[in-house]
Amino acid sequence: MTETKLADRKTDDEPKPAGGVSARIVLNAVRHHPIVFISVLLLGTAVGAGIWFFLPLPKKTGVVFFQVSSQSQSILTQSESHIDFLAYKQRQMALVKSRMTLNAALNDPSLKGVPMIATAIPTR
């Protein structure tokens, strides 16, 4: 009878493990099951690489907005704000119609199939 009482007391006096996962439990599991650990690690890496590889990249787009104001804005003084609006409009129109701007717009691959542009561009 005394032996069973001592055995019962030992199990009651031992600290009970707290719930959750600790570093010791994880290391012990890795030490006892290295193949399972490596398999899970390789599977996770393969899934991550597959997601990264097969996700489509965002398309690069550019948009230009022209805001033409009838009154020029000045930072320094009010006397500089007497710039002619017609000259300002002509300058903006010249920038839009410049050879570099038009070549960049016409060399856009998405415009190659547009019939109006295809007939307007002379073939060399």
**Alpha-carbon 66 to chain mean position:** 28
Contact 98, 104 (CB under 8 A): no
Here the tokens at position 92 are 């903006």
Helix, strand, coil percent values for the chain (each to nearest 5): 60, 0, 40
Global pTM reads 0.33
The pLDDT tens digits of the residues spanning 66-77 come to 666 666 566 665
Tens digit of each residue's pLDDT (9 = 90 or more) over 50-108: 998 888 877 777 677 766 666 656 666 555 445 667 777 788 888 888 888 888 877 88
∠ CA 45-51-56, nearest 5°, is: 150
Q: Are 68 and 76 in contact (CB under 8 A)?
A: no
User: Closest Cα to residue 105, out of 87, 117, 88, 122?
Assistant: 117
